[in-house]
Amino acid sequence: MLRESSDQNGTLDSLDMHGAVNPESDSGVPHGGLLTAFAEAAVRQTDALAGLREQIQDELGAQQLVDAAGVVANFQRMVRIADGCGIPLDDFTKRASEDWREELGLHEFASAANTV
Amino acid sequence: MTTTTAPFAYRQANWPILERIREAHIRSWERLAAPGEWWSGAERISIAAESRRASALVDGSPDPGPGPVSLPEAATFAVHKLVGDLPNVSRDWYEQTIRAEGMSDARYIELLGVVAHIWSVDEFHRALSLELEPLPDPIAGAPTQRRPVGLADHGSWPPTLAAEDLAESEADIYDGQSGAANVREAMSLHPDSVRWLSDLFDAHYLSWVEIGGEQESFRVLTRPQRELVAARVSALNECFY
């Protein structure tokens, strides 16, 4: 979805998918580092969370902060449904994502055995 | 622990929370309190309470206490596994769980729906450091024990409903789309969980219509920003899908 939306947005060339799995990598998405840091602090409930909220509010806006909290909340749920049901990848997604899944090391995730 | 109202006032919030989010959260509490197909309202609230206990265990915060009724041991264990040990959920574990005393595939899917949806509402609060909403009081009534017609093996662990096999009573669950996203189909053994999933999906992320097209103007993060946050959360949970 990240690749697809960047493609539709005309920013695929500047996208680096490593930014989604490695906090040290620049995804190329505007304010991506701040948003992924917020996501990590929210998921792990770290002490950095309050400061990152303030930073998002200052740099992006209060509505963007609430929007980001909603996306975190949604995917904290979706991963549980996906991994709790052993959802298979459809053939199209499997073929289209094979190379970068390997490159990003997603096959190392324990849940890969349930999905492929 | 419980309350008769679910105002979702977000009292500590310094940020503008859209009314459509609040309305979806209120509907979530109404759904939670009502009898399901396989669990009573009181049992569903106990599942939600157990998910908060599991979260507290992970965070090292005080135990918020159990729900109003006891659950089968396998159900309690399943809640803790889904909240606190997700990367180690496996097919073997699923098969053992649905065969345990007091469980079945349908009871597992309804339980998963309650855990996942309450977890989502709670995670929204935690991301903004808001006090969690008290759980509602249960609505009396017996589970209907109605299993959908047309279930088949479509690749997920539980049997599911393909869009072309939906009976009239479930005709709405994929919004009339000819092919459902795998995540929706995976929950279709319990159709109300699919409806709940779509409601919160729209409130927190995007509608199913927006997934394939333009996002609505009230969604202020750009689509790539939205998907980057989604991908990071999935990676942190080691979710391959």
A98, B76 Cβ separation under 8 angstroms: no
B94, B121, B232 ranked by CB distance to A39: nearest: B232
Question: pTM value?
Answer: 0.89
Question: Residue B47 pLDDT more than 60?
Answer: yes
Return the higher-pLDDT residue of B118 and B239. Answer: B118
Determine contact: A46 vs chain B, CB below 8 A.
no
Is the separation of the CB atoms in A74 and B231 below 8 Å?
Answer: no
The answer to whether A63 touches B14, Cβ cutoff 8 Å, is no
Residue B4: per-residue pLDDT = 47
pLDDT at A19 exceeding the cut of 70:
no
Q: What is the ipTM of this complex?
A: 0.92
What pLDDT, on the 0 to 100 scale, is given for residue B183? Answer: 86
Question: Do residue B238 and residue A29 have CB atoms under 8 angstroms apart?
Answer: no
Contacts of A67 in chain B (CB under 8 A): 219-221, 226
Q: Is the pLDDT of residue A106 over 90?
A: no
The span from the CA of B124 to the CA of A68, in Å, is 9
B132 close to A (CB below 8 A): no
Residue of A67, A98, A103, A108 for testing the chain B interface, max B β-carbons within 10 Å:
A67
- Rounded Cα gap, residues A37 and A42, in angstroms: 9
Is the distance from CB of A36 to CB of B228 less than 8 angstroms? yes
Report whether pLDDT(B236) > 50: yes
What pLDDT is attached to residue B114? 98
Average pLDDT over every residue of B193-219: 91
Instruction: Say whether A85 and B17 touch across the interface (CB within 8 A).
Output: no
Close Cβ partners of B198 (under 8 Å, ≥ 6 residues apart): B173, B175, B184, B207, B208
pLDDT bucket at B87, cuts 50 / 70 / 90:
confident
Q: Mean pLDDT in chain B?
A: 92
**Residue recorded with tokens 């680096």:** A16
Contact assignment for A5 to B223 by CB distance below 8 Å: yes
> What is the model's pLDDT at position B232?
92
Q: How far apart are CA A105 and CA A18, in angstroms?
A: 10
Alpha-carbon gap: B132 to the closest alpha carbon of chain A (Å): 13
* Virtual torsion, Cα B107, B110, B116, B119, nearest 10 deg: -90
- The Cα–Cα gap between B161 and A6 comes to 32
